[in-house]
Amino acid sequence: MKYAPYSFSKINTFFECPQKFDYSYVNKISKDKDYSDPSYFRRGRFIHAYIADRLKGGDGLLSGFADVDMEDKLSLTDSAETTLENEYISISYDFNKNEIEKQIFLSHQMKPTNKARAAMLGYIDYFAVHDDFAMIVDWKSGKYRPDANYNQLELYAVWVLEKHPEVTEIDLIFYYVEHNKFSVRTVTSSEVESFKNKIIENIDIIENEEEFKPTPSKRSCLHCAFFDTCSEEHGIIL
């Protein structure tokens, strides 16, 4: 495969803008010199690291993250602690199995494999399994979105079900840490087969693409790491 390994964000990038996919993963050009990650990216990285450390038994006293100011860190820490105490989350601590920041690898046929043979990879923030039930959680920072797109968690559900065939029902959860709210979608094991087919189909579309044309969008372009480069190359005016 030309562009493997894939991830949810890599596939999403292609369908958002094929040109951005080309810049990021095909020609792998440098980001615009004046580009810097938005604050919600930096805050999100801190939240993920803090929650992972606490779930692993740490004290949350993280080094680094100089790009997040102290006031934000204190606010995010308070929100993260509230998240960890939420009944819906905390009940899973006593499940048969739970894992934190699990890296997963899937073949083109959506079967678990190793890194060297992976067509798809990803990181599950947190998942837990109890008898025939599983929950997959992705920690979110920023705005609460009750109408979330679950494609990312559908990918993770494929791996969880392959590893735990006894599971018949999975809760897919986006947990918005700063708001102590979550969006949940419950899926059955029979639905997961359709997730596999959709992922395989999307990979095949990308693999067979011959041109990577830009898809101008004011919302996306203004936050793109290649906005200046793309504007100069294609004469895009928003």
**Predicted confidence (pLDDT) per residue in 208-228, tens digit:** 999 999 999 888 898 899 999
How far is it, in rounded angstroms, from Cα 208 to Cα 230? 23
The answer to whether 102 touches 124, Cβ cutoff 8 Å, is: yes
The arrangement of secondary structure in 36-207, i.e. its CATH architecture, is Alpha-Beta Complex (3.90)
How far is it, in rounded angstroms, from Cα 153 to Cα 138? 8
The answer to whether 69 touches 102, Cβ cutoff 8 Å, is: no
Check pLDDT > 90 for residue 235.
no
Q: Two tokens at 60?
A: 């949350």
Which pLDDT band holds residue 238 (cuts at 50, 70, 90)? Answer: low
143/236: higher pLDDT: 143
List the strands of the sheet with 181-188, edge to edge.
Answer: 97-106, 120-130, 133-140, 169-176, 181-188
How far is it, in rounded angstroms, from Cα 160 to Cα 165? 8
Among 142, 148, 151, 149, CA closest to 176: 142
Rg (CA), the chain: 19
Q: Quote the pTM value.
A: 0.92
The answer to whether 180 touches 83, Cβ cutoff 8 Å, is: yes
Whole-number pLDDT of residue 99: 97
How far is it, in rounded angstroms, from Cα 34 to Cα 226? 10
Which pLDDT band holds residue 145 (cuts at 50, 70, 90)? Answer: confident
Among 142, 118, 129, 164, CA closest to 48: 142
Q: Two tokens at 139?
A: 């920690």
Among 144, 100, 149, CA closest to 124: 100
Whole-number pLDDT of residue 125: 98
Q: Two tokens at 90?
A: 């905390």
